[in-house]
Amino acid sequence: MIKNKKDHVADHTAGKPKEKKAGGVLVSKNGPYIVTGGLPLEKEYIVADSEGISAEWKKGKAYPEQETYALCRCGGSKHKPFCDGTHAKEGFDGTETATKKKYLAQAERIEGPGFTLTDVQDLCAVSRFCHQAGGVWRLTAESDDPNDKKLAAHIAGQCSSGRLVIWDNETGKPIEPKFEPSISLTEDPEKECSGPLWVKGGVPVESENGTKYEVRNRVTLCRCGMSGNKPYCDGSHIGCHFNDGDPEL
């Protein structure tokens, strides 16, 4: 509905407090993520199949609503997922090293007979859903079955980082899951570690210097402090066994 459009777009209306804000994430200098706009926060778990391949996401605890909150980015807080000031005591270096190039300017294209896959490996958060069905790359390259297009879009849509996107060859449009603007604290029981923040639904992410990252439906932000592609996750949380104290790990 057009009258609700402002609920779902970046806030360009500072000074007009009556309009509902879409919310956003600010990457503060060597400090936490400052979340605004009352974005919902919840846990989300990777569920593996009998062969250990990531098969689905399972929702967990939802946190009480807060208009503004600060999420730990250094990985050291004793009050995770929230910041407790440890970054300052430990001298956390949170320098942002990720490119601000748009996704499509970086993407490799795999064109199949029925649909197309785009892939930006640098964004990989290693959630491993892409291993389903013999691998989403194989599925794309070999299949023109319309059911496989749906399956490939489902698999790519589970890719929390947005590394993988399936495109409809007929319309030229991406096939994306519908997400409300929100943040999930991901957990990876199969690897016995906690994962990144899964930022969903086109939430704007702003750099400490005021520049913006491309607004996307799915991105993952590092919260272990170890990524080499900050603020995005690069899968380092697995190697460093990042644990936010979740009881299911």
Task: Give whichever of 139 and 233 is closer to ligand FES, judged by the CB atom.
Answer: 233
Report the site for ligand FES in 119-158 (rule: CB under 6 A). Answer: 125
What is the C-alpha separation between 195 and 218, in angstroms, rounded?
A: 15
Under the binding rule (CB under 6 A), the answer on residue 237 touching ligand FES is yes
Q: In this chain, which of 24, 162, 196, 201 binds ligand FES, going by CB under 6 A? A: 196
Q: In this chain, which of 114, 222, 244, 246 binds ligand FES, going by CB under 6 A? A: 222
Task: Give whichever of 153 and 205 is closer to ligand FES, judged by the CB atom.
Answer: 205
Under the binding rule (CB under 6 A), the answer on residue 226 touching ligand FES is yes
Under the binding rule (CB under 6 A), the answer on residue 160 touching ligand FES is no
- Residue pair 75/86 in contact (Cβ under 8 Å)? The answer is no
Q: How far is the CB of 94 from ligand FES (least distance, A)?
A: 11
User: Which 8-state DSSP code applies to residue 177?
Assistant: -
Q: In this chain, which of 187, 198, 223, 246 binds ligand FES, going by CB under 6 A? A: 223
Q: Name the one range near ligand FES by CB under 6 A: 33-41, 89-97, 139-147, 233-241.
A: 233-241
Q: How far is the CB of 101 from ligand FES (least distance, A)?
A: 20
Bridge partners (DSSP) of residue 109 are 118
Under the binding rule (CB under 6 A), the answer on residue 224 touching ligand FES is yes
Q: In this chain, which of 128, 155, 236, 246 binds ligand FES, going by CB under 6 A? A: 236
Helix (H, G, I), strand (E, B) or coil at 126: coil
User: Which 8-state DSSP code applies to residue 97?
Assistant: -
**E strands in 49-133:** 54-62, 69-71, 108-111, 115-119
> Which helix (DSSP H) or strand (DSSP E) does residue 25 occupy?
strand 24-27
In 3D space, the residue among 74, 68, 60 whose CA is nearest the CA of residue 32 turns out to be: 74
- Cα distances (angstroms) measured from residue 40 to each of 11, 161, 201, 244: 17, 18, 11, 19
User: Which 8-state DSSP code applies to residue 10?
Assistant: -
User: Which 8-state DSSP code applies to residue 11?
Assistant: -
Q: How far is the CB of 18 from ligand FES (least distance, A)?
A: 37
Residues at the contact surface with ligand FES, assessed by CB under 6 A: 125, 195-196, 222-224, 226-227, 233-237
